[in-house]
Amino acid sequence: MSARTTGEYVAGSLIGGTGYRAFVPAPLPPDPPLSFEAELLAALEAANQALGRLDGIALMLPDRDLFLYQYVRKEAVLSSQIEGTQSTLSDLLLFELDEVPGVPFDDVTEVSNYVAALDHGLVRMREGFPLSLRLIRDMHGILMRSGRGMHKSPGEFRRTQNWIGGRTPAVAAFVPPPPDRLNDCLGALEKFLHVPAGEVSPLVKAALVHVQFETIHPFNDGNGRIGRLLIALMLCHDGVLREPSLYLSLYFKLNRARYYELLDAVRRRGDWEGWLRFFVVGVHETAQGAVNSVQRILACFERDRRGLAAHGRRSGNLLQVYEQFVRRPLRSVPALQRDLKLAAPTIRSAIARLTELGVLAEVTGQQRNRVWVYRDYYEILNEGAQPI
């Protein structure tokens, strides 16, 4: 790899005269250009093929929206866990059922806001709105609208110096660009966002933008979550995926030390290739894992529907209740009553039978306000989503 300048350090000072250095990244694409050696090209091709399989299997699902409903929520939980929340997937689903989750309210609110921010971005893009700084600010405003981030300028780029690690920028692990350089950095990033897919591989583009966004760190809080969210949005925007079915938060969570090491290597010595290898291997593994999860979920549904259909006259009510757990794997009797034209005793009887059969399990251990989970389905969804 040729020597590569990835940016410049500029001096700053704290009140009292203590100095620090802030890093201002050079605009994308990297200069000199990326070096695509055989190993990297092979990894990139494998990742693109895995994305193709993931996009294809998503089309085979009988109801893509239902799968994405759960998958997006798992990503929201994982991405928020990286930032320190203790929410689990069950906490989020309980919160959405108006039940009390088992973690602080602010934790689960942050996760719920992540879901809303991603949904907003997808809806706006499908309406023809460009993937732009304006859209990124709008999503950030939704992400930080409540919970611990609500007082950290939701939807606004920062006007003060921030830093990562340490009590002050003088001893920080990394100091992003100062506020007076932010507009130039963001303008260059937006210009690269609009580079046509034919000029740069969408996967490479997403990898580069993720690092650049995290380096610029344009918000007072929420940069990590928005930066991870952008990966899925870019792949949809550039036509690689029809649906936002690829999320790398689990891969980043399992490889946190390496992730931060490689971001630093880009900034310090321009090792974009090292980062790109890590990124495309993660895409390949994540896409393969998602395909495997979909296949296992479909097999689970087929097995249980076939078993329930064998119950003769009772199968009608059993299947009606069961299908609601397919839609959302955690349910309560009041929630089921809202969605089904069945009396509460009929619903309770069906739940009791589904529990006897091992399809459902009660999760609260209480006699009142009980909640049941579709056990096997939830276990597949929840793999890797336990708090760090």
What CATH number corresponds to the domain at position 13?
1.10.3290.10
Kindly state whether residue 344 falls inside one of the protein's structural domains. yes
The two three-digit tokens of residue 41, written as one number: 């090209």
Rounded distance between C-alpha atoms, residue 287 and residue 187, angstroms: 31
Same domain, 333 and 277: no
Q: What is the pLDDT, as a whole number, of residue 17?
A: 73
Are 221 and 91 contained in the same domain? yes
Burial class (CB in 10 A: 0-12, 13-18, 19+), 340: middle
Residue after which a domain boundary falls, among 255, 288, 321:
288
- Asked whether residue 302 is domain-assigned, the answer is no
Which structure tokens are listed for 119? 């949904």
Rounded CA separation 156/219 (Å): 7
How buried is 17 (Cβ within 10 angstroms: 0-12 exposed, 13-18 middle, 19+ buried)? Answer: exposed
CATH number at residue 319: 1.10.10.10
Contact between 140 and 219 (Cβ < 8 Å): yes
Domain residues for the domain of 86 are 7-288
Last residue of a domain, one of 288, 322, 344: 288
Asked whether residue 87 is assigned to any structural domain, the reply reads: yes
Q: Looking at the structure, do residues 235 and 349 belong to the same domain, yes or no? A: no
| Residues, the chain | 388
Q: Which of 154, 85, 83 is nearest to 120 (CA)?
A: 154
Q: Is residue 33 part of a domain?
A: yes
Does the predicted TM-score (pTM) go above 0.95?
no
**Same domain assignment for residues 252 and 121:** yes
Whole-number pLDDT of residue 153: 86
Q: Does 112 share its domain with 197?
A: yes
Q: DSSP string covering 211-249, please?
A: HHHHHH--SSS-HHHHHHHHHHHHHHHTTS-SS-----H
Per the domain annotation, does 146 fall within a domain?
A: yes
pLDDT by 10-residue block (mean), the chain, 388 residues: 78 81 95 93 96 84 70 82 78 74 70 88 93 96 82 90 91 94 97 91 96 97 93 92 86 93 94 97 94 90 92 84 92 91 92 95 87 93 74
Instruction: Write the CA distances from 62 to 120, 304, 340, 373, integer angstroms.
Output: 24, 16, 21, 21
Whether residue 321 sits in one domain with residue 274: no
* Distance, CA of 50 to CA of 44 (rounded, Å): 10
Residue 293 belongs to a domain: no
Query: Could you tell me if 234 and 349 lie in one domain?
Result: no
CA–CA separation, 17 and 2 (whole Å)? 38
pLDDT (0 to 100) of residue 369: 84
Residues 326 and 279 in one domain: no
CA distances from 263 to 57, 226, 267 (A): 32, 16, 7
Classify residue 1: in a domain, yes or no: no
What pLDDT, on the 0 to 100 scale, is given for residue 67? 67
Does one domain contain both 192 and 250? yes
Domain boundary among 235, 255, 288: 288
Q: Is the domain of 134 the same as that of 200? A: yes
Residues 155 and 270 in one domain: yes
Q: Is 91 exposed, middle or buried (0-12, 13-18, 19+ CB in 10 A)?
A: buried
Instruction: Tell me, yes or no, whether 334 and 231 share the same domain.
Output: no
> For the chain, what is the radius of gyration of the CA atoms?
23
Q: For the chain, what is the domain count?
A: 2
Q: Is residue 298 part of a domain?
A: no
